Amino acid sequence: MDGRRTWQPPRPVVRGRADHTAIVGCELYVDGVAVESPGPAADLAGLYERACEHEGAFVWLGLHEPTEAALTRVAEVFGLHPLAVEDILHREQRVKIERYEDVFFLVVRAAQYVEHERVTATSEIVSTGFVRLFVGPNFVITVRQGTVMELSSLRADLSRDARALAQGPWSVVHAILDRLVDAYVDIAAALQLDIELTEAAVFAPGTPVTVEQVYQLKRQLMKFKAAVLPLQRPLAALTGKQFADLPKEIRRYFSDVADHHIAAVEQVVAFDDVLNALLQARLAQLTVEQNNDLRKIASWAAIAALPTAIAGIYGMNFTHMPELTSRYGYPTVLLLVLVSAFALHRVLRRAGWL
């Protein structure tokens, strides 16, 4: 968790419009009601100034994969710290929360379950993407990467709940984290079904499950785990004493989100243990199967060695061998070979080698 950064964001002084291709939503809320919804054609500087003029007003700006130029323009208008802007330009980012005076910067990783008929060695089960949030006294900015966790439906739902939005920008942050954690719980339930089916297949007779399939499931779980577990620290900060100046009611809502998140974390940790056990079990099964194959090979080699040994004796070409003058010597030896091979086969079969 990064500590407080000493830096004073500048006030917006430049008017203009941001890159319209990056803006996917923009509203000005006053007392929880959207009074302006300019959308992509927003005059961000003017909108933000109007939000600063009214108590209980804030701007919710939504961006989707903005260019560096568009992000720089937004940073100028809302006074975002350049280090936070630089973090957004790096696609891979750790989950964290930072504070720059009265502006908070939060990075979370959203996840989405990918529907599939069965788990294969190349199945994509979980898809992830980053959501970054800037939260100030009169604005909240959401920056999404990828197609995971669209916020348009969340924006529509919140717009119908003026009581929640009246609590300010942090109500938007709570709604996003709440939906994020709910998605974690749903994905965990779907993964549990995949793991249960894989577990049943591993221990079923004639199992078709390969080590690669089990490992792919574990790899996808690791991707999901990388999204779920790091969120514990930001939630702990939002509910703890580190950010004690947050509204008390909002902190209570974050505590509820943290409780749901703990349930998802416990499931993910349990899944990891189960998949480790399944992977070890499948590897043990492969070892047993290889040992069985080696025993079968050794058994048939022993059966083949018996007539070979008898034939080797009669191939020594000595002049005085009793069976050479016997009328029934040849069929007798053949019968002896067959009976000996059959007897050895029965012995090995009873021992479980065949």
Residue 270 vs residues 191, 221, 288, 304: alpha-carbon distances, Å: 11, 11, 27, 51
Q: How much is the pLDDT for 209? A: 80
Indicate whether 277 pLDDT > 70.
yes
200 vs 311, which has greater pLDDT? 200
Residue with tokens 């016997």: 326
Torsion of CA 57, 62, 68, 69, to 10 degrees: -60
Q: Are 56 and 166 in contact (CB under 8 A)?
A: yes
Give the pLDDT band (50/70/90) at residue 207: low
Q: How far from the centroid of its chain's Cα atoms is residue 186's Cα?
A: 13
Indicate whether 18 pLDDT > 60.
no
Q: Are 234 and 97 in contact (CB under 8 A)?
A: yes
* Residue range 251-262: mean pLDDT, rounded: 91
Q: How much is the pLDDT for 3? A: 45
Q: How much is the pLDDT for 169? A: 92
Q: How far from the centroid of its chain's Cα atoms is residue 178's Cα?
A: 18
Task: Specify the pairing of strand 96-100 against strand 103-113.
Answer: antiparallel
Q: What does pLDDT average to over the chain?
A: 83
| Burial track 77-104 (b if 16+ CB lie within 10 A, e otherwise) | bbbbbeebbebbeeeeeebbbbbbeebb
Give the C-alpha separation, 33 to 61, whole Å. Answer: 15
Lowest mean pLDDT among 58-72, 111-125, 160-174, 285-299: 285-299
Give the C-alpha separation, 22 to 39, whole Å. Answer: 11
Indicate whether 175 pLDDT > 90.
yes
Give the pLDDT band (50/70/90) at residue 117: confident
